[in-house]
Amino acid sequence: MLSVETIVSALKNILTDEQVSVNETVRELHSKDESYHESRLPEVVVFPSSAKQVSDILKVANEFEIAVIPFGRGSSLEGHIIPVKSSITIDFSLMDKILEIRPEDLLVRVQPGVTRTQLNKELKKYGLFFSVDPGADASLGGMAATNASGTTAVRYGIMRDQVRDLEVVLADGRIIHTGNLAAKSSSGYHLNSLFVGSEGTLGCFTELTLKVYGIPEFETAARAVFPTVKSAVDAVTSILQAGIPIARVELVDEQSIEQVNHFSETNYPLKPTLFLEFHGNEAGLAQDVEFTKEIMNDNGCLEIEFETDTAARNKLWEARHNLAYAFIHGFKGKKLMSTDVCVSIKDLADAVLFARAELEKVGLPGGIVGHVGDGNFHTLVMMDMNDAKEIERAKRFNESIVHFAIERGGTCTGEHGVGIGKMQYQEKEHGAALDVMRTIKLALDPKNIMNPGKLIDIDK
């Protein structure tokens, strides 16, 4: 059997000693993500500083047939970066340079370890911003690999919409580019789309060219309270149908509002609530706001409050962004499981009501929060990891929500990705297309060294 010493010695031939770690604490930090999935230590963690070094690492891994796990910030939620067997974890934190900002093209070129807040801090100097906003301060490499989205997807799109080009190191060490700088192209297969969302199973991203946007001249946020989840979702459907260019619209159910109030010291009414944000110029926004108020009232809105002041707006969105932490704080000793289905807007209200009813049935504490503008919602379920029956109930609950979504033409994951946790639903969701995915995976990574045991089961 291959010894760790042999691998480490081969890695130290291509990297400096400081770039290769078998330290227990370092391995522990790379053994788990933010999910409830059980951790496992990688054998060794490496910290490359260039695409050439990543390529050399993959050549070593290929020679020894040892698994490789790309690692951004470890904020994923489905066990994406947890080793399932002996592994080298590639941590991209040293590759954190913003390489080029092209304001006239609205493009940036970055290394994969750059985080979204790091990028936005730099872009602000140019009056620009990067739109994709998952709750955590994730790396852009990790966000591309999970096809992340979040609160702003309803207006600006998801990670896949922002990627113009990726530099990818393939499993055998070859370095390719998947796109170019052109705003559109009909040339060749659309490799950007294939690699975005590939969860480290097809290659390592070593450079990303991404779309950015001008910071809107004016922003307004609002909080609208509804008597029922159905009336809140109906209001969102009407807003979308009216073509109001809403930048964010989030549903927070009454149980989640309770946690928000405790954690963020707010005093919001315990009712289904929409958190909204509008971007544009002052005159256009004034019209949008009036029209929105009308639509809200037509759908039985009980109370609507607008915030234009930056501090008040930030407080409102901070409360929303802290929701997962509010639950974690409110149920100490328990672990959070988050469902992530996405359905058509028409099915959304039914799906949310179904999730709430199922949650009551299994008798676990939790709340529902949704990016309702695009049909994606999360049920945050708190469970005791020392109670096997409770874990089983939570898993059964998750399963029922997923089946409900897939049977209506939806998906098991709108933004978190498949990782370990959603692999079991891939057959049901993709049918024969899953074989096509297996063919692609094996063509690019015949030895299955890239993040094995995630996204796709190649042995079936």
Single-letter amino acid code for the residue at 325: Y
Binding of ligand FAD at residue 142 (CB under 6 A)? yes
Contact with ligand FAD (CB under 6 A) among 75, 259, 273, 299:
75
- Joined together, the tokens standing for residue 250 give 């989030």
Q: Write the CB contacts of 265 (distance below 8 Å, at least 6 apart in sequence).
A: none
Amino acid occupying residue 80: H
> Closest approach of Cβ 140 to ligand FAD, in Å?
8
The greatest distance separating any two alpha carbons of the chain, rounded to the nearest whole angstrom, comes to: 70
Phi, psi of 435 (to 5 degrees): -65, -40
Listed residue (151, 288, 174, 299) closest to 235, CA to CA: 299
Minimum distance, C-beta of residue 373 to ligand FAD, in the bound complex (Å): 13
Q: How far is the CB of 290 from ligand FAD (least distance, A)?
A: 30
Type of residue numbered 43: E
Comparing CB distances to ligand FAD, the nearer of 148 and 252 is 148
Tokens 């399932």: give the residue.
Answer: 84
Contact string (CB under 6 A) for ligand FAD, positions 159-198, x = contact: ----------------------------------------
Query: What is the C-alpha end-to-end distance of the chain, expressed in Å?
Result: 26
Selected from 69, 212, 247, 349, the binder of ligand FAD by CB under 6 A is 69
Placement of tokens 């370890």 in the chain? 113
Residue 375: C-alpha distances to residues 297, 324, 417 (Å): 22, 19, 16
Contact 381, 366 (CB under 8 A): yes
Which range in 8-16, 73-81, 216-224, 247-255 contacts ligand FAD by CB under 6 A?
73-81
What is the number of the residue whose Cβ is closest to ligand FAD? 142
From residue 288 to residue 327, the character string flagging contacts with ligand FAD as x (rule: CB under 6 A) and all else as - is ------------------------------------x---
**Do the beta carbons of residue 206 and residue 70 sit within 8 Å?**
no
Window 384 to 403, contacts with ligand FAD (CB under 6 A): none
Say how many residues touch ligand FAD, by CB under 6 A: 36
Question: Which C-beta is closer to ligand FAD: that of 146 or that of 162?
Answer: 146
* Residue 383: both structure tokens together: 């469970």
Comparison of 45 and 295: residue with beta carbon closer to ligand FAD: 45
Contacts of 329 (CB under 8 A, 6+ apart): 262, 263
Q: Whole-number minimum distance, CB 435 to ligand FAD, in Å?
A: 22
Residues making contact with ligand FAD (CB under 6 A): 33-34, 69-77, 80-81, 92, 112, 134-136, 138-139, 141-143, 145-146, 148-150, 199-200, 204-205, 324, 415-416, 451
